[in-house]
Amino acid sequence: MAGKMESGYTVTSADRRLAQAYCEGMAHRIQGTALAFPITDNPYSDPDGELETAWDAGWNSANGDAGGVLDPKNCALSGNVSA
């Protein structure tokens, strides 16, 4: 999952936990509508906020595709995103 995430930072092999959180946020959002699967469901509240920020970035990226086909970035996801 190397590459640039929407939040603006680069994911390397040392950042796998950030990449995972990003993809988890994206996966959460594509399950249904933003109302049913809100960004406030973020399970992370790490002390430095990196995982929380990465999860939110993934959710926001998927939400940007609402009403259309998901652009999975570097995540192993596919499908449509409910509006």
**Could you tell me the residue range of the domain that residue 12 belongs to?**
3-81
How high is the mean pLDDT of the chain?
A: 85
Per-residue pLDDT, 1: 41
Task: Name residue 80's beta-bridge partners.
Answer: 69
Per-residue pLDDT, 75: 86
Per-residue pLDDT, 12: 57
Q: How many domains does the chain have?
A: 1
- Over residues 7-44, the pLDDT tens digits come to 554 555 568 888 899 999 999 999 999 999 999 999 99
pTM: 0.83
Whether the CB-CB separation of 38 and 71 falls below 8 Å is answered with no
Rounded to a whole number of angstroms, the CA Rg of the chain reads: 12
